[in-house]
Amino acid sequence: MAKTYVVGNFKGGVGKTKTVTMLAYESAVKKRRKTLVIDLDPQGNATSVLGRTGGLSAVTKNVTDGFITGNLQNQITKVIPCLDIIGASTSFRTLPKLLMSKFPDDEDQQMLYLKTLLEPLKDQYDSIYLDVPPTISDFSDNAMMAADYCIIVLQTQELSLDGAKTYISYMQYLANNYNSDLDVLGIIPCMLRPGGRVDEDVLRAARDLYGNNVLQTVVKYQERLKAYDAEGIHINKTSLGYEDSWDIRAHKVFENVLDELDENQKKLDKYREGELNE
């Protein structure tokens, strides 16, 4: 049965979509896991990147229609072997009105709607990744209530650390008021300027605050990662048939991130099992 991951930070532009698409790709290609990405951001950046990755001219099926009909199964688009997407659409910006119309007097059901819609899909996948806008809103509420684990993206700047702090505080609010059992699986540091004083200070402050929750793997700026936005995620071959070294370097970082997250999940799963057995 699939585990569901929301990738978040309440600061925009920190690399959440990049992280979702790269982790999903490594999950599918390197780990051979049946993986689904659900793009809950009306801007649809994850949809665009994965559409290019799969050589798709368009991703016409979308999450809005799934929320309207109450069936996400019919909105799945195949990207590459082991990797599917439920794409975004700009009309999903009306999510608050949609939820209010379906559950006019039930705030709990408004927040739990995505979780309900995911249940029929969980037996089909190993991993489900949720990409969401960086706001406290119906989008984040539904994603956080539906997810088993949260992966926080921390860009090495002060406002990003503030966004991570707010995100974790909001997780606690949901736990206290709505019985959410969402756990932080890991905090991924993304360094803007390796060796920069501010970057190092923010990373140090994050490790002081959150300890081993901050991964040892640091995602550093690479032009190749930026190129995947325009070209889709890939591993090119040289004229001699070898994998391109810059592609290997870009993918290896996220393979390492995924390995660390897997180790953290094993520990948390054992802890949860122990709680259930008490």
Mean pLDDT rounded to a whole number for the chain: 94
pLDDT digits (tens, 9 = 90+) for 182-225: 999 999 999 877 778 888 999 999 999 999 999 999 999 888 99
CATH number of the CATH domain containing 40: 3.40.50.300
- Residue 127 in tokens: 């991993």
Q: Is residue 278 pLDDT above 60, yes or no? A: no
Pick from 150, 146, 188, 142: nearest CA to 169 = 150
- Provide the CA 96 distance to its chain's centre, in angstroms: 21
The percentage of the chain sitting over the pLDDT mark of 70, rounded to a whole number, equals: 99
H or E element at residue 160: helix 158-178
Which pLDDT score is estimated for 258? 98
Q: How far apart are alpha carbons 166 and 222 in whole angstroms?
A: 28
105 Cβ contact list (under 8 Å, min separation 6): none
Q: What global pTM score does this model have?
A: 0.95
H or E element at residue 41: none
What is the rounded average pLDDT of the residues 224-250? Answer: 90
Question: Which amino acid appears at position 102 of this protein?
Answer: K
Containing structural domain, residue 7: 3-277
Band (276; pLDDT cuts 50, 70, 90): low
H or E element at residue 70: none
Q: How far apart are alpha carbons 69 and 72 in whole angstroms?
A: 8
Q: Is residue 274 pLDDT above 90, yes or no? A: no
Structural domains counted in the chain: 1
Which pLDDT score is estimated for 73? 97
pLDDT digits (tens, 9 = 90+) for 45-89: 999 999 999 999 999 999 999 999 999 999 999 999 999 999 999
DSSP one-letter code for 87: B
Band (242; pLDDT cuts 50, 70, 90): confident
- Residue 246 in tokens: 């810059």
Largest CA distance in the chain: 64
Q: Does residue 245 sit in helix, strand or coil?
A: helix
pLDDT digits (tens, 9 = 90+) for 97-110: 999 999 999 999 99
> How many angstroms separate the first and last alpha carbons of the chain?
23
- Residue 206 in tokens: 């994050």
Which pLDDT score is estimated for 275? 62
